[in-house]
Amino acid sequence: MVDLARELKVAINTGKVVLGTRQTIKAILRGEAKLVVVAANAPPNIKSDVEYYAKLAQIPVIVYPGSSWELGAACGKPFKVASLAVIDPGESNLMELASTA
């Protein structure tokens, strides 16, 4: 079993990840995002927007099982993160996790 929080830290340290809903949607629209992660408690309008654009671009979406505070902490940030886009997974195994989701 791949630990999502640990793999997110590896991706942030070795790859490229953008945090925040606006940056996530921009990355999806530019075709840069390879994977999208949304917090389980993200506001419904944010969650639906991100999932809609990701579905159009055929990008996998993973719902992080914790809150946006926990997702922010998993990213090593002291603030809430409702969604993020993985542009380059680096040395992480996030893409394996996306294929099983």
How many domains is the chain partitioned into structurally?
1
**pLDDT for position 1:** 38
Per the confidence metrics, is the pTM higher than 0.85?
yes
Q: Where are the alpha helices (DSSP H) in the chain?
A: 4-14, 21-30, 44-56, 68-74, 94-100
Which pLDDT score, from 0 to 100, does residue 47 have? Answer: 95
Please, what is the average pLDDT of the chain?
A: 92
Tokens read off for 81: 């993160």
99 pLDDT band, cuts 50/70/90, is confident
pLDDT, one tens digit per residue, over 13-56 is 999 999 999 999 999 999 999 999 999 999 999 999 999 999 99
CATH at residue 19: 3.30.1330.30
Residue 21 near residue 85 (C-beta atoms within 8 A): no
Range of the structural domain that residue 47 is part of: 4-100
Q: What average pLDDT score do residues 47-72 get?
A: 95
